[in-house]
Structure 1
């Protein structure tokens, strides 16, 4: 909670003035009732709420172009987790964006000095009106905005980075709705419990698997139902499972 508040406060400095006390009180009341955490990788298409406002991540990055203010965040967050589960590295070429799919590579152009950089989106933010992207220290330094703190930029989505047969990088639009998905309905530390649930589900459902996950300190046996080629089909079946009484069901990407 303390780290979250510090991060929001740092990002809510505008023209040298901090936000007013009434806004801080509102944030504290909201945060005490519900922790504000941007979505984890398995929830990347789910809407999320920060500072009382809902954000809806885009299903794909094709054709995305945006102009606005870029800012940067540095050592206060170095070593902490980002929204996709990675560890934030202030020296890496990554960035935070409120709605682009996590993993999207973007080109950021400084509209005043025409410098350009390419970064990969691995975090959510900045949650300040008018700001469209939060860069690392290294990214901001290359664009020339470390000193002033902010600058007008253009953000163009390139897509997911892949390599062709000639070992050259190319980009394909990143689409969260395509891929392989399944629905997890339970996770157990005891395999016998997982097997019992699998047997019970077998009376009504097909394609039930037990996936083993080693956390280091313990092993979890995850019971999963179905295989789907797109997110829409998976989420429809998730709803059916939830309505049938499997209250822990949720969709995961494989």
Structure 2
């Protein structure tokens, strides 16, 4: 990691892993919490290419880390009441060894080798799909922390997540993020009674059109669900659908993950 990037990381991640971080705390008192003064990559990291994406599931928002309003460095932030349908584009950074093993804003222990992240206003915990716009690599992370408190940055990724989307060397990247919102079992039961929309599941994206077309035929025959291939930004995206009922779509999504397609995800119905 370049020295310049490490300095940037220090500024970005200063408040990211602090529970109840506020503008009244000085930088020196915050630094006293950590063994390292500056953030850095781990000296000897495990092979994080094998770390799976976070697996979205319903989790009630925690009491800790979800105070409606808070202030950092004189700027106020308002936490959203729901993560449903949230999308955003901007800069991403990552944080590592300095914060590893310390508490996140959610009251959990930060593990830089897990698929986690920090965001300024999403309710905790939330699940987010992050796409590096430079290479179209994606990762699904669980947001359990606050930050990054730096102009133009919208999300702070763990070391493992940053590795997976290919931004470790640069230190920052332009990304688009989209929440994956899972309703409570009670809400889903009510929605399924009145659900008349259609659903699609995206299985994979690749630049290899031949491979995508072969896989599309295989999945179409295996699951007896129509498959389609869409081109976007130099990639071909394989989707299954339309599926008329949410519970059927959810059932197929679970099956796809079990059958070797762990990055499959539900697409929101177009209204």
Scaled by the length of structure 1, the TM-score of the pair is 0.51
Aligned to 1:122: 144
Aligned to 2:164: 142
Looking at structure 2, the residues matched to 87 and 43 of structure 1 have their Cα atoms a distance apart, in angstroms, of 13
3-state SS, counterpart of residue 80 of structure 2? coil
The equivalences for 1:13-52 within 5 A come to 30-31=24-25, 41-42=63-64, 44-52=66-74
| Structure with the greater alpha carbon radius of gyration | 1
2:64–2:105 contact (8 Å) kept in structure 1: no
Looking at structure 2, the residues matched to 41 and 161 of structure 1 have their Cα atoms a distance apart, in angstroms, of 18
Looking at structure 1, the residues matched to 170 and 65 of structure 2 have their Cα atoms a distance apart, in angstroms, of 35
Looking at structure 2, the residues matched to 147 and 51 of structure 1 have their Cα atoms a distance apart, in angstroms, of 28
Aligned to 1:16: none
1:45–1:58 contact (8 Å) kept in structure 2: no
**Cα distance, 1:8 vs. partner?**
9.7
Unaligned runs of 5+ in 1: 1-6, 14-28, 174-254
Are residue 75 (structure 1) and residue 97 (structure 2) matched? Answer: yes
Task: Note the alpha carbon deviations across 1:179-216, whole angstroms, 9 max, x for none.
Answer: xxxxxxxxxxxxxxxxxxxxxxxxxxxxxxxxxxxxxx
Aligned partner (choices 95, 107, 116) of residue 129 of structure 2: 107
* Cα separation, partners in 2 of 1:112 and 1:8, compared to 1, 3 Å: closer
Are residue 56 (structure 1) and residue 78 (structure 2) matched? Answer: yes
Say which structure is richer in strand.
Answer: 1
**Cα distance, 1:110 vs. partner?**
0.4
Looking at structure 2, the residues matched to 149 and 82 of structure 1 have their Cα atoms a distance apart, in angstroms, of 21
Unaligned runs of 5+ in 2: 1-6, 14-22, 31-61, 186-246, 258-264
CA RMSD after TM alignment: 3.4
The equivalences for 1:173-212 within 5 A come to none
Aligned to 1:11: 11
* Cα separation, partners in 2 of 1:161 and 1:106, compared to 1, 3 Å: farther
Task: Note the alpha carbon deviations across 1:62-112, whole angstroms, 9 max, x for none.
Answer: 111000000000011100000111100000001000001111111000011
Looking at structure 2, the residues matched to 79 and 151 of structure 1 have their Cα atoms a distance apart, in angstroms, of 25
Q: Which has the higher contact order (CA 8 A, sep 6+)?
A: 2
Scaled by the length of structure 2, the TM-score of the pair is 0.48
Aligned to 1:159: 181
Aligned length: 148
Aligned partner (choices 73, 85, 106) of residue 107 of structure 2: 85
* Cα separation, partners in 2 of 1:148 and 1:65, compared to 1, 3 Å: same
